[in-house]
Structure 1
Amino acid sequence: MKKVAIMGGAFDPVHKDHVAAAKMSLDCGLCEEVWFMPSPDRWDKTLNASPEDRFAMLELAFSGDKRMVLSDLEIEQGEYRGSYVFLMGLKEKFPDIHFLLLTGADSYEGIPHWRDPMTFFGTNYNGHLLLRDIELIVFARKGYPKPDLEQHKANGYAPLHWLGKEQGFVGKYSSTEIRKVLPYNRTQCPEGLEPTVFQYILDHDLYRE
């Protein structure tokens, strides 16, 4: 089966660590393709750029590498359903593909509390099902610890692959931090942004206060 890593998220905006983690996953042979899946407007997060703008910025960020695929499947889904429901739908839609989830160490910490917002009542979480059913690739994020790989395995979860300093990956960029400087910096490309993405932000007057 072809192995495809799904990298979902707001990408508000996409930064160099997103693309570097995808490229390293491919170069290390953990997957054959990475599908970037920008999320629709979400119940759990206020998004600053429209789905169309976030999609366009992703197109600019990794153009030229055919192993990276930009998909609108989650945006076209409409209402945000959460990662587990979406990934189970992908497995049903593409039965000949083995899907993995490519995510940051910050997100990994919160997976046990992920849920389907359409059927959310109190503590009706489904993140443990995702950990059980979906193989993970987790990349380093500044300020977040490396997952406990032995504990992850002992919990009966699906395999977890780590991308950190041992593999030459140092996660240092954050969309939140980049957004903080963009209202005041409209002349010099912030570290962590591709120049083409920065130019798109300027051309479309995004991330103003």
Structure 2
Amino acid sequence: MIRNPKARRFLAAARGKTIAVMGGSFNPAHKGHLDVALYALRKLRADEVWWMVSPQNPLKSPDEMAPFAERKASAEKLARYHSRIRVTDIEVLLGTHFTADTLCALVDNARDTRFIWVMGADNLIGFHRWAEWQQIFNRVVIAVFDRPSYSLRALSGPAARRFARMRTRERSGSLLRNRRAPAWVFFHTPLNPLSATRIRYGAGQ
């Protein structure tokens, strides 16, 4: 049971919708994030995309991270002209630290909402290092979007191999929202090659 009233209101507004959830540090948010969100809205026929700004990525050093408020503000600025992209601090409201726990809370407390976890191919490569990563596959359907130079490594990695039989065809990706987990799709859509790391060190715009 979610106790935080703001979190309850946020989930109540999602009733009956298909929500594509994109977690990340957004350190800072950049056009690559926006490209994925817009593709997700179209390819998955999602009603909204939630940018779930992480208070602290467990796999990254706090020294690498800008303050949470600054990262959230960068996401809000980038999404300001897109009403179907919602920037959220839901993990702060829920008090969760791992994606598996956050998704579990969302699914358990919004049973009439269809959630799709969205991530880039770069994250799929190391997905087996995430806490309770198999639980995530078994809890929600997943959409993976290609990023330049990552597809081969992503599709041959431990997570992709473990759930290879549950992979859905790309041309059926719009039906993913009606599937039961575990089910996932890999979109070979060309995307912006920018990364937050490159932007922080002045290598991208």
**C-alpha distance in 1 between matches for 2:72 and 2:50:** 12
Equivalent in the alignment of 2:135: 129
- Aligned 8 A contact 1:3 1:32 in 2: yes
Partner AA of 1:20 in structure 2: D
Cα offsets for 1:64-91 (capped at 9, x unmatched): 211111111113344x521111100111
Q: Which has the higher helix share?
A: 2
Is 1:39 aligned to 2:54, yes or no? yes
2:145 equivalent among 139, 143, 154? 139
Distance 2:97 2:76 in 1: 24
**Matching of residue 179 in structure 1 with residue 200 in structure 2:** yes
* Deviation beyond 3 Å, 4+ runs, structure 1: 148-153
1:98 partner letter: R
Match of 2:22 in 1: 7
Please say if 1:51 is aligned against 2:68.
yes
Write the distance in 1 (CA, Å) between the matches of 2:120 and 2:17. 23
| Residue aligning to 1:73 | 90
> Structure 2 length normalisation: TM-score?
0.74
The one-letter code matched in structure 1 to 2:52 is M
Contact 1:153-1:159 at 8 Å conserved across structures: no
SS in 2 for 1:181: coil
CA RMSD of aligned residues (A): 2.3
Say how many residue pairs are matched.
Answer: 170
Kept in 2: contact 1:105–1:140 (CA 8 A)? yes
Sequence identity percentage: 26
Q: Is the 8 A contact 2:143 2:185 kept in 1?
A: yes
Q: Give me the whole-angstrom Cα distance separating, in 1, the residues matched to 2:109 and 2:193.
A: 35
Q: What's the CA shift for 1:153?
A: 4.2
- Give TM-score, length-normalised by structure 1: 0.73
Distance 2:110 2:184 in 1: 22
State how far apart, in whole Å, the 2-side matches of 1:96 and 1:75 are: 23
Larger Cα Rg: Structure 1 or Structure 2?
1
- Please tell me whether the aligned partners of residues 5 and 31 of structure 1 are also in contact (alpha carbons under 8 angstroms): yes
For 1:44-79, what per-residue CA distance to the aligned partner results, in whole angstroms no more than 9, with x for missing partners?
A: 21242111011111111011211111111113344x
Q: How does 1:99-118 map to 2 (within 5 A)?
A: 99-115=115-131
SS at match of 1:65: coil
What SS does the aligned partner of 2:117 have? Answer: strand
Q: Is the 8 A contact 2:41 2:48 kept in 1?
A: yes
